[in-house]
């Protein structure tokens, strides 16, 4: 019985060793925090208070947008980026308005990706915010 316990302990130690080394090595390399600064988010009530001074961008897939969306929002997602961006820039964009991007929920990264692309690729000077809690938060208010 003792040899079996000793062998089990050795196997357990050998199995844990790579995990401990990897955890130690990657401790500063894994992004434990959000990819977006907290200041880039906006609460639903604040965004609603902007009224006509806000441009709403729905980053969810087109089928979800077609089912329901924030009134006045346009669909601009990764799948239709070129077409959607041209439509947005040609018909709705205005430099003095704030842009609010949202996706399905707080755990969804689509809004972050679209907001980043608006800043980096489209070079928009507008204030671009991500709706905290996404579409789920909008429906609760």
Q: CATH number, domain at 46? A: 3.40.250.10
CB atoms within 10 A of CB 84: 20
Query: Which stretch of DSSP H or E encloses residue 101?
Result: strand 98-102
Residue 114: inside a domain:
yes
Tens of pLDDT, residue by residue over 89-114, are 887 888 889 999 999 987 888 999 99
pLDDT, position 73: 92
Q: Is residue 22 part of a domain?
A: no
Q: What is the pLDDT of residue 15?
A: 80
State the total domains in the chain. 1
Name the pTM for this structure.
Answer: 0.73
Q: Is the pLDDT of residue 39 over 90?
A: no
Q: Burial letters for 23-52: b for 16+ Cβ neighbours within 10 Å, e otherwise?
A: eeeeeeeeeeeeeeeeebbbebeebeebee
28 assigned to some structural domain: no
The parent domain of residue 49 ranges over 38-140
């Amino acid at each position: 019985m003792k040899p079996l316990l000793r062998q089990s302990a050795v196997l357990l130690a050998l199995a844990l060793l790579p995990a401990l080394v990897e955890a130690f090595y990657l401790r500063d390399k894994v992004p434990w925090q959000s990819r977006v600064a907290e200041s880039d988010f906006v609460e639903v009530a604040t965004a609603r208070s902007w009224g006509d001074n806000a441009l709403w961008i729905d980053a969810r897939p087109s089928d979800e947008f077609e089912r329901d969306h924030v009134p006045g929002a346009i669909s601009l997602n990764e799948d239709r980026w070129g077409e959607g961006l041209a439509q947005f820039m040609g018909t709705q964009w205005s430099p003095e308005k704030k842009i609010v991007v949202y996706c399905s929920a707080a755990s969804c990264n689509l809004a972050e990706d679209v907001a980043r692309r608006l800043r980096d690729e489209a070079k928009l000077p507008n204030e671009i915010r991500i709706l905290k809690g996404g579409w789920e938060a909008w429906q609760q208010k």
